[in-house]
């Protein structure tokens, strides 16, 4: 009894107290082993076994009897049938545990030290499950954990090559909490895997990378030419490390996993630097991360490269070079509005011009342009930034998006008082943009006196020039799609997608489809009389403005894209 009291009052670990109480160790011997374990930065179990004070089999049986915890012989377990990637491999190696299975919210863990509360809490936090111990012999456990950790590293190493030069230009902050995975972010295979994914995405001309955790698998997808394609399924064990690495170089809080975060990072790729916009989202099984590639060179391609026809280009160039007024670019998310706006800004960006933009967030850095990011938490909204711009002597103002009546009113007043204003709206086509502004509460007179041109746009996949072949469509199908009898002459032939090693299922890149509608006197009269979108669309058609379908069909006729693609992106 005295020995038990002495052991309980000491600073011995749970395993040490059990062994002292069972008569396997004296208090003095246990304390000496504990001091040795602390000096050599190892666990008490490893220390007592290394000293030969007890065998692994004796230790397992003693703990099982004393703590009433089931005992399992790992020799009878098939390693290939054990659940994979339930917990992080590094966590499993650190605490010497193996996952045996899961039932409901209980996670059955095999380990040699069931008194390790730190391991229980870390595993519980990482899996959101309740760990239940099964005792196993330490020597067999170490072999199984080492083999599992090695196989995970080998699986990840097989996905990457050895030649990378990744340079993050921003200073990388360090984690403040040692328990939040700060030590994982420098894991070499994970770092190199992320580098490979970014470089591969750039080479594949992807616009976005998706890192998606699920219950039993983890996948990476690229959005190439508007379509998501699965690229690989790395081991689930890397999902926390990968998220931490991305968040560190994006200057995000790696300890915060409960709310979405947004950040940026930069990669020096060859002779140019490419920005990436990072968005995290907590899901049921971990953080989904989407990285958008922001290539500054896309703003310098020129109007022709974006797919504007000559008449459309002339209308747009004539509008943005006027001294004042409002030009609106409309379309759904992912339709290329930002690139169109930045292309216009790049044309207007001259030494004698003061340009200010407010965006949420600024996607492309343009030297010579004063760019402001919206910060709602700090009270910096679109409307607040616009009011400040008007006191900054601007010539040209770009508003990332008109979302409310206050922003719309300030932007329109700026357009009426000698400023060129560029902005975007989420509407289906150009005529409905005007009725959308009226529905927001903007007075028809203000719309008619400020808006000078509206561009609606979509992005269609461009046919691969190496493998496209002529297609045979029935005449009835072409007429139904929107072609006229006069269009169906023998001077052109539609093409179809085939597919080759240099393209994506017959497509390579994308081309814009545009409806460029100037606000003429007749359209202004319709606005002032509170006419609807159908009245405006009919007048625009009479004035030679093609709708999106007609614009897309001209791309089919030119052999740039397919009829199926145009129908897909213009089928309102």
Q: Over the stretch 526-543, which tens digit does the pLDDT of each residue have?
A: 999 988 899 999 999 999
The DSSP secondary structure of 455-523, one letter per residue, reads: EEEEEEEEEPTTT-EE----HHHHHHHT--TTT-STT---EE----TTSBTTEEEEEEEEEEEE--HHH
Instruction: Lowest mean pLDDT of 48-57, 183-192, 409-418, 483-492, name the range.
Output: 183-192
Residue 572 binned pLDDT confidence (cut-offs 50, 70, 90): low
Residues 6+ apart with CB under 8 A from 398: 341, 345, 355, 356, 357, 358, 359, 421, 422, 423
Q: Say how far apart CA 464 and CA 492 lie, in whole Å.
A: 18
Q: Over the stretch 495-527, which tens digit does the pLDDT of each residue have?
A: 988 888 778 888 888 899 999 999 999 999 999
pLDDT at 24: 79
pLDDT at 3: 47
Q: Say how far apart CA 188 and CA 156 lie, in whole Å.
A: 10
Residue 454 binned pLDDT confidence (cut-offs 50, 70, 90): very high
Q: Say how far apart CA 76 and CA 359 lie, in whole Å.
A: 61
> What is the mean predicted confidence (pLDDT) over 184-193?
70
Strand extents, DSSP E, 245-320: 261-269, 272-283, 286-294
Q: Say how far apart CA 315 and CA 432 lie, in whole Å.
A: 19
Total-model pTM: 0.65
CA–CA distances in Å: residue 515 to residues 77, 184, 453: 66, 50, 10
Half-sphere exposure in the Cβ direction for 130 (13 Å, CA): 4
Closest by CA to 508, choosing from 517, 518, 500, 516, is 500
> What is the mean predicted confidence (pLDDT) over 373-398?
88
Residue 5 binned pLDDT confidence (cut-offs 50, 70, 90): very low
Instruction: Lowest mean pLDDT of 21-25, 59-63, 368-372, name the range.
Output: 21-25
Residue 162, pLDDT above cutoff 50 = no
Residue 126, pLDDT above cutoff 80 = no
Token pair of 26 as six digits: 């004296």
| Helix 563-570 × helix 548-557 angle, to 10° | 170
Closest by CA to 512, choosing from 570, 466, 454, is 570
Burial class (CB in 10 A: 0-12, 13-18, 19+), 376: exposed
Q: What percent of the chain has pLDDT over 90?
A: 27
Q: Say how far apart CA 476 and CA 495 lie, in whole Å.
A: 17
Q: Over the stretch 252-310, which tens digit does the pLDDT of each residue have?
A: 998 888 999 988 888 776 667 788 889 999 999 899 999 998 877 666 667 777 888 88
**CB–CB of 434/454 below 8 Å?**
yes
Burial class (CB in 10 A: 0-12, 13-18, 19+), 308: buried
**CB–CB of 193/156 below 8 Å?**
yes
The mean pLDDT value of the chain amounts to 82
Phi, psi of 352 (to 5 degrees): -90, 15
């Amino acid at each position: 009894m005295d020995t038990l009291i002495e052991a309980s009052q000491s600073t011995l670990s749970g395993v040490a107290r059990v062994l002292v109480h069972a008569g396997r160790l004296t208090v003095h011997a246990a304390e000496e082993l504990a001091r040795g374990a602390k000096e050599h930065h190892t666990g008490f179990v490893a220390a007592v076994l290394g000293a030969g004070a007890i065998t692994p089999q004796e230790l397992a049986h003693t703990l099982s009897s004393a703590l009433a915890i089931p005992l399992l012989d790992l020799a009878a377990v098939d390693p290939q049938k054990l659940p994979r990637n339930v917990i992080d491999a590094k966590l499993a190696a650190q605490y010497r545990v193996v996952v045996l299975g899961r039932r409901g919210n209980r996670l059955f863990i095999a380990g040699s030290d069931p008194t390790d509360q730190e391991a229980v809490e870390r595993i519980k936090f990482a899996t959101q499950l309740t760990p239940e111990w099964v005792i196993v012999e330490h020597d067999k456990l170490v072999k199984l954990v080492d083999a599992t950790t090695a196989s995970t590293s080998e699986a990840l190493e097989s996905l990457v090559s050895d030649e990378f030069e990744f340079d993050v230009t921003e200073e990388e902050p360090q984690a403040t909490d040692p328990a939040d995975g700060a030590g994982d972010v420098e894991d070499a295979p994970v770092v190199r895997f992320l580098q490979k994914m970014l470089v591969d995405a750039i080479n594949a001309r992807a616009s976005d990378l998706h890192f998606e955790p699920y219950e039993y698998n983890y996948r990476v997808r690229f959005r190439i030419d508007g379509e998501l394609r699965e690229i690989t399924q790395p081991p689930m064990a890397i999902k926390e490390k990968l998220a931490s690495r991305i968040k560190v170089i994006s200057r995000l809080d790696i300890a915060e996993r409960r709310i979405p975060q947004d950040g940026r990072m930069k990669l020096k790729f060859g002779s140019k630097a490419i920005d990436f916009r990072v968005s995290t989202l907590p899901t049921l099984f971990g953080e989904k991360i989407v990285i958008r590639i922001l290539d500054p060179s896309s703003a310098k391609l020129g109007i022709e490269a974006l797919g504007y026809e000559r008449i459309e280009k002339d209308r747009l160039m004539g509008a943005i070079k006027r001294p004042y007024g409002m030009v609106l670019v409309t379309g759904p998310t992912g339709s290329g509005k930002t690139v169109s706006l930045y292309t216009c800004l790049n044309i207007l960006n001259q030494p004698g011009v003061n340009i200010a933009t407010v965006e949420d967030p600024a996607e492309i850095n343009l030297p010579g342009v004063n760019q402001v990011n919206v910060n709602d938490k700090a009270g910096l909204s679109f409307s607040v930034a616009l009011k400040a711009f008007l006191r900054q002597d601007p010539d040209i103002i770009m508003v990332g998006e008109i979302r409310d009546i206050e922003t719309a009113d300030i932007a329109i007043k700026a357009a009426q008082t000698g400023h060129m204003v560029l902005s975007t709206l989420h509407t289906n086509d150009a005529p409905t943009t005007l009725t959308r502004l009226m529905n927001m509460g903007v007075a028809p007179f203000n719309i008619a006196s400020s808006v000078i041109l509206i561009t609606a746009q979509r992005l269609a996949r461009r046919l691969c020039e190496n493998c496209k072949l002529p297609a045979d469509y029935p005449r009835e199908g072409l007429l139904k799609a929107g072609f006229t009898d006069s269009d169906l002459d023998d001077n052109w032939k539609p093409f179809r997608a085939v597919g080759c090693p240099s393209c994506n299922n017959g497509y390579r890149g994308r081309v814009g489809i545009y409806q460029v509608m100037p606000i003429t006197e007749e359209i202004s009269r319709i606005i002032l009389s509170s006419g609807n979108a159908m009245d405006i669309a009919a007048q625009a058609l009479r004035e030679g403005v093609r709708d999106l379908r007609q614009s897309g069909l001209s791309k089919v006729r030119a052999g740039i894209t397919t009829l199926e693609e145009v129908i897909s992106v213009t089928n309102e």
